[in-house]
Homo-oligomer: A and B are copies of this chain.
Amino acid sequence: MNFASDNSYAAHPAVLAALSDANSGAVMGYGADPVTARAEDAIRALLEAPDAVVRFVATGTAANALVCAQLSPPYGRIYCHEDAHIETSECAAPEFFAHGAKLVTLPGMGGKLVPHTLSQALQVGAHGGLNGGRNALVSITNTTEWGTVYTPVEVAALSAVVQQAAVPLHMDGARFANAVASLGCSAADLTWRAGIDALCLGGTKNGAMAAEAVVFFDPAQAEGFDYRRKQAGHVFSKNRFLAAQMLALSVDGLWLDLARQANAKAAHLAEAVTQGGGQLLQPVQSNAVFATIPARTHARARAAGAIYHLWPDKSAEGLDPVPLRLVCAWDTPDGDVEALAAILRG
């Protein structure tokens, strides 16, 4: 009964099969192989973005931090939500890769930036002279760190503000599949058509072993990126094994199927929380549930072996009700989901 994170779970059999398929014969290294070419094409097709530059890395932190470094100078201001993964969970990787660039964090309900707040912050940045650095980048996460999703309209509203500031807009899509599956929109509608310049499209939490795609919709913004990735140790010599994972997920909409499965499990848990007198802290729009539940329910869940994080951290232990986070993966066993749901219902 593991609800700690979607990265606790397995890779999909199709991903493993793709690794086997890619594992025959000799090819040229560092991405000059046919699997990489096919995978890049597949991501471009998935995004309806035939000119996009697509590259693969193994971790979300690498993907996000390399994009920050690519799009911000060392003296840049990178705006993000105060709960953004790049701020809270990447050990200052963006600052490290971007050589000191400053994350400027903003509040917002449900993990989302608000156009008005962002606009004001960008104006402060624009008028700060040398003291505060220069506006460089805005980064949003979709699915957000609170399990909510930005709609295409919401992204476009932020993009309008961002374009006025003449800086690019990045989407951390570690759980991009969950957002697209939740919204039922196209990947293009949620990204470049809504004004996204760079996307980190997550594979790891979606059913890969370790694979993410970095996408620059405007090739000009990817200038020199391959050098940057190489210098960071994120170019794989046997790159086909990164690419094969993303390729497998992209075939026949597998990525969306897996995301839908994960989302459905979370919805099931959310319903149980409410029925059992718990309270959802955020609308459950993807594969994570943020909620408070009665302490006695929590005790029963723990006793039954349920693993999950208290929220924001273990200092919440002892509270009643108890705030927690439950995350489902595509392959969280239905039996486990139902078992926890039963406990949650009380």
Contact = CB atoms under 8 A, between A and B. Distances in A.
Interface of A: 2, 4-5, 7-11, 16, 19-20, 23-30, 57-63, 65-66, 73-75, 88-103, 124, 127-128, 130-134, 204-205, 209-210, 224, 226-228, 230-238, 241-242, 307, 313-315, 329, 332
B91 A133 contact: yes
B8 A235 contact: no
Given A26-B332, A88-B131, 10 more contacts: A10-B26, A11-B241, A16-B19, A59-B237, A75-B231, A89-B132, A92-B101, A93-B230, A99-B100, A130-B227
A300 to B, nearest CB: 20
A55 to B, nearest CB: 12
A89 B231 contact: no
A230 B94 CA distance: 11
Given A8-B28, A10-B23, A29-B7, A74 B96 contact: yes
Contacts of A313: 124, 127-128
A25 to B, nearest CB: 7
Contacts of A60: 237
Nearest to A130: B230
B96 A132 contact: no
Contacts of A73: 224, 227-228
Contacts of A101: 92, 95
Those 3 A-B pairs whose CB atoms lie nearest each other, nearest first: A62-B233, A96-B100, A2-B26
A230 B23 contact: no
A314 to B, nearest CB: 8
Nearest to A1: B26
Given A88-B131, A91-B133, A210-B237, A230 B74 contact: no
A23 B30 CA distance: 26
B11 A27 contact: no
Nearest to A93: B231
Nearest to A30: B130
A103 B101 CA distance: 11
Contact of A100 (B20, B27, B95): B95
A75 B92 contact: yes
B93 A102 contact: no
B130 A226 contact: yes
Contacts of A134: 224, 227
Q: Residue among A130, A134, A329 with the most chain B CB within 10 A?
A: A130
Contact of A90 (B28, B131, B228, B242): B131
A125 to B, nearest CB: 11
A227 B133 contact: yes
27 contacts: A5-B29, A5-B237, A8-B26, A8-B28, A8-B29, A10-B24, A10-B25, A11-B19, A11-B23, A11-B238, A19-B209, A26-B307, A58-B236, A59-B235, A61-B230, A63-B233, A74-B99, A90-B231, A91-B133, A91-B230, A92-B102, A97-B100, A99-B99, A124-B313, A127-B315, A134-B227, A210-B237
A123 to B, nearest CB: 8
Contacts of A20: 16
Given A11-B241, A16-B23, A235 B100 contact: no
